[in-house]
Amino acid sequence: MTSSVNGRAHGSSGVLPKRFHAKVDVRWSDMDVFQHVNHARMVTLLEEARIPWLFEDGRPTAPLREGCVLADLRVRYRGQLRHEDTPLDIAMWIEQLRAVDFTIGYEVRAAGAAPDSPPAVIASTQIAAFDIQTQRLRRLTEPERDYLAGWMSE
C-alpha cells in the first residue's frame, strides 16, 4: 500500500481541501461470486486505507490505535470494483470533528481513474476516542484535534 496527500483543481477557487490518498491492493479473496469487491471486504479495505493516515508512528493521532471505537459506518455503492481495478485509490478527509469523535469521508476509485471522475464507492466512518482501561469515551487531545482539523472538508 502507498499513500500521498494532494488537493485537486475544482471550481472557481482552484483547489479542493487536502485529501489523504491510500493505494490499496484488491486481493483475489476480496471478490464475491458476482466478481466484484464484496461489501465486508470493502469495509476492510477502508480500514486498511485509514491505518497509515491515522495510526502510524509519528502521527499525532497514533495514540488512537490504543483505544478507539467505530461508532457508525455508511457505505454507498455507485459502481462496481473488481480485482483488475487494483490498486484502489481511497481518498480520505475529515467531515466532522467533535470533542470525542470524528467522521471520515471516503471516495474510492479504480486504479487509473481520473481524480475528478465519479467515485465507485462513497463512505463515512465515525470514530470515537476510547479509554480501554476505564471503558469510557475520552476527549480527543489537542494534538489529535489539530491534526484532524487540518484535514477538514470545506
Find out whether 39 and 73 touch, Cβ atoms under 8 Å. no
- Measured CA to CA, the distance from residue 29 to residue 41 in angstroms comes to 9
Task: Please give the Cα distance from 86 to 75 (Å, whole number).
Answer: 19
What does the pLDDT average to over 19-48?
93
Place of cell 469515551: 137
* Contact between 68 and 130 (Cβ < 8 Å): yes
pLDDT at 6: 64
User: Phi then psi for 147, rounded to 5 degrees?
Assistant: -65, -50
| Partners of 75 in beta bridges | 123
The closest of 25, 32, 148 to 97, measured between CA atoms, is 148
Higher pLDDT, 22 or 34: 22
pLDDT, residue 13, reads 47
Residue 14 clears pLDDT 80, i.e. is over it: no
With bands split at pLDDT 50, 70 and 90, how would you rate the model's confidence at 34? confident
152: phi then psi, degrees, rounded to nearest 5: -65, 140
Q: Please tell me the pTM assigned to this model.
A: 0.89
Residue 66 zone, left/alpha/beta (φ > 0; ψ -120 to 50; rest): alpha
